[in-house]
Structure 1
Amino acid sequence: MNNHSIRPKSRNFGFDRGKPIDRYYIETFLENNRSEIKGQVLEVGDNYYTRTYGVNVTKSEVLNLIPSPDATIVGNLETGENIPEEAFDCIILTQVIHVIYDVKTALINTLKALKPGGTLLLTTTGLSQSCRTDFHGDYWRFTDTSLKMLLNELVDEEKIEMEVFGNVAVAKAFLDGLAIHEIPEAILGIKDHHYQVLLTAKVRK
């Protein structure tokens, strides 16, 4: 009967059990792109990833919709409010675009904020429980096809590097809210594009 439970182990992505499974892929992506996280860097919410993976960062900015202790810029990617143009060498946009309704405009404003030659490091969700809160909505799930088509409308194809992570075992564990330490490490690296848990994109302006 337990194999068919309608109750997940965690309704908080596994944060209450340890490190969520999708963080393994997010952090692998950022680790592999340390060299891009340099100069003036913008991150959303806080600057944990900038501090953890940044190399030769000269200025770290934090964007938030509302004032917060970490925010250095209170602005809105969807409307462009208070988003500077051509200001950043790197923008870290992890798990953000699926909670923005007008995602295309948000990406346009994000790319405008990059300096020429700057890099956007983006991750987003494919298969996931809802993350709707009182603070933000939850609007989209992406596939490699939809994300690539969306980005190709904004930049040339050769400026985009995408990768997809996940398989059926990872998808089931993530939806159940298990943490990384609760699944065999060996299955994390197996990719099955029929079960796209997390998508990453490195986009060069």
Structure 2
Amino acid sequence: MKNSKYIKGTVCEIAEDTYSRKFGSNVKRFEILHYTNDNKKATIIGDLTNLVSLPQNTIDCFILTQTLNFIYDFRLAIKGVHYMLKNEGVVLATVVGISQISRYDMDRWGDYYRFTDLSIKKAFQEVFGEGNVEVEIYGNVLATTAFLQGIAAEELTKEELFYKDKDYQIIITIKEMIYFLC
């Protein structure tokens, strides 16, 4: 993984710790944030949109994959991530660009947004500041068509799958660092 060097110290993920265990090195503590206490693996029960429910300044790396699409007040959730990060902490996030509705999520808590690289970058810059946010897109018309038709990624060549067309953004990645000036 391209950003695995950032997955160290105290690492937090939503609902599970799959990526931090797979790609992390020098991880001192694995934290799992979950909205309710029905997740037995959760070490933090909290709501990214409710700062009072979150620990402040405790996370070195926050891995936030495919979550913001399902939070109505996603801007406040970004502030929640910022609130949890330590000085020099980093968030590694992904959001959906082009996708069908996730019926599982829609029926449980909602499926609200599809983002573009511009919209998510501006939203993160509002909290983390300009110059601290890196955004990258993945997708193209063939990969989008295959995805929407349920064609497996293995049925495409790497060249077909990884060709990037900024007009067909399936997945958008975000990386930002938090720096406090003392």
Q: Shorter-chain TM-score: what band?
A: over 0.9
Question: Shift of the alpha carbon at 1:131?
Answer: 1.1
Question: Shift of the alpha carbon at 1:174?
Answer: 1.0
Superimposed CA distance per residue, residues 61-117 of structure 1 (whole angstroms, 9 cap, x where no aligned partner): 001112212211111112235210100000000000010000100100111100011
Question: Shift of the alpha carbon at 1:176?
Answer: 1.5
Question: Quick one: higher RCO (CA 8 Å, sep 6+), 1 or 2?
Answer: 1
Alignment partner of 1:84 is 2:87: no
Question: Shift of the alpha carbon at 1:185?
Answer: 2.3
* Aligned-residue identity in percent: 39
Which residue number in structure 1 is paired with residue 41 of structure 2?
A: 70
Query: What letter corresponds to residue 39 of structure 1 in structure 2?
Result: G
Which residue number in structure 1 is paired with residue 110 of structure 2?
A: 137
Question: Shift of the alpha carbon at 1:184?
Answer: 2.2
SS of 2:53's equivalent?
coil
Alignment partner of 1:56 is 2:29: no
Alignment partner of 1:150 is 2:131: no
Alignment partner of 1:195 is 2:168: yes
Tell me, in whole angstroms, the C-alpha distance in 2 between the residues paired with 1:37 and 1:135. 30
Tell me, in whole angstroms, the C-alpha distance in 2 between the residues paired with 1:195 and 1:63. 31
Query: What letter corresponds to residue 84 of structure 1 in structure 2?
Result: P
TM-score computed with the length of structure 1 as normaliser: 0.82
Tell me, in whole angstroms, the C-alpha distance in 1 between the residues paired with 2:132 and 2:78. 15
Q: Which runs of 5+ in 1 are unaligned?
A: 1-30
Which residue number in structure 2 is paired with residue 169 of structure 1?
A: 142
TM-score computed with the length of structure 2 as normaliser: 0.92
SS of 1:58's equivalent?
strand
Within the candidate set 72, 75, 90, 1:104 is matched to 75
Alignment partner of 1:33 is 2:3: yes
Superimposed CA distance per residue, residues 160-196 of structure 1 (whole angstroms, 9 cap, x where no aligned partner): 1110110000011111122221222221220100101
Tell me, in whole angstroms, the C-alpha distance in 2 between the residues paired with 1:78 and 1:54. 26
- Give the alignment's Cα RMSD to 1 decimal: 1.1
Query: What letter corresponds to residue 164 of structure 1 in structure 2?
Result: I
SS of 1:123's equivalent?
strand
SS of 2:108's equivalent?
coil
Alignment partner of 1:93 is 2:93: no
Query: What letter corresponds to residue 162 of structure 2 in structure 1?
Result: G
Tell me, in whole angstroms, the C-alpha distance in 2 between the residues paired with 1:175 and 1:79. 34
Within the candidate set 176, 180, 183, 2:153 is matched to 180
Question: Shift of the alpha carbon at 1:40?
Answer: 0.3
Which range moves more in the overlay, 164-173 or 75-84? Answer: 75-84
Give the aligned length. 175
SS of 2:175's equivalent?
strand
Tell me, in whole angstroms, the C-alpha distance in 2 between the residues paired with 1:111 and 1:72. 18
SS of 1:193's equivalent?
coil
Tell me, in whole angstroms, the C-alpha distance in 2 between the residues paired with 1:47 and 1:35. 16
